[in-house]
Each structure stands twice: as structure tokens, then as C-alpha cells.
Amino acid sequence: MRAAYRVLASLIALAVVLQVASIAMAGFTVAGDAEDGATIGADYSNFGQSYHSMAGMAIALLALVFLIVSFLTNVPRGRMLAGIVVGLVVLQILLAVVSFGLPALGLLHGINGLAIAGVAGMASRRAATVAQPATSA
């Protein structure tokens, strides 16, 4: 189960990296489309925006599975790290919703995303470096 814990933690961290990349792509696509004369309104969307939204929900699902797996493994502080990831993901969703009304909070949304990747990466490394029990000679 330690391997499943490590894989899930690594997938969450990787998914956040892809989130950052997709929202950057979305921003540049909006700028390019506006420069080309496109009307950017409520019905406007691009691949980066759509991917960012859908992948965010996938990260939430991964985080819940990660928390469940954390109870089935013996990674030191594994449950705590998984719980922090879940808490940060919940905060991320709340920040996303609120940021549409108060765009300046989008800064916190971005910073919190990096925190999710950092904690998930820490959890993955912790699972990889768990000391093996000593064998008797």
C-alpha cells in the first residue's frame, strides 16, 4: 500500500503542474484571441480553461482516494499529510469559486495550488524513504 500512497501523492503533484501549465496556456490563448479581434465574453472558453476546470475536479477525487489509502499504509505522518492535501484542495475549490467575484483572491488560488504540489511531493518522498524494519541476523 505504500507504493499506492506514493503513486497517488506523485500523481497529485504532477496534476498540479499540469494545472499551472494549462492556466498559463489559457491566459496566452485569451490574449492571442483578443489580439486577433475575438470577443471575450461570458460564453468564451478555450482548451486551457476547460482542462484546468476538469483536471481540478480530478485532483479533488485523487485527493480523496489518497486520504483513504493513507489509512491503509504505515507511512509516518502519512495520514496527516494526506489530510493536509485534502484540506488544501477544499480551500482551492473555495478560492476558485470566490475568485470569480473577487479576482484578487486568484493570487491565493495560485499560491495554494503550489502548496498542494509541495505537500503532495513531500508525502511522496516520505513514502519512498520509509525505513525498512531491521532483519535479525
Q: pLDDT tens digit string along 95-120?
A: 999 999 999 999 999 999 999 999 99
Q: In whole angstroms, give the CA distance from residue 50 to residue 54.
A: 6
Query: What percent of the chain has pLDDT above 90?
Result: 86
Query: What is the pLDDT, as a whole number, of residue 90?
Result: 98
The one-letter code for the residue type at 112 is: N
Q: pLDDT tens digit string along 18-55?
A: 999 999 999 999 999 999 998 888 888 899 999 999 99
User: Mean pLDDT in the chain?
Assistant: 93
Q: In whole angstroms, give the CA distance from residue 83 to residue 77.
A: 10
Query: What is the pLDDT, as a whole number, of residue 115?
Result: 98
The structure's pTM equals: 0.88
Model confidence at 129, in pLDDT bands (50, 70, 90)? confident
Residues 105-128 as b/e (b if ≥16 CB within 10 A, e otherwise) read beeebbebbebbbebbbbbbebbe
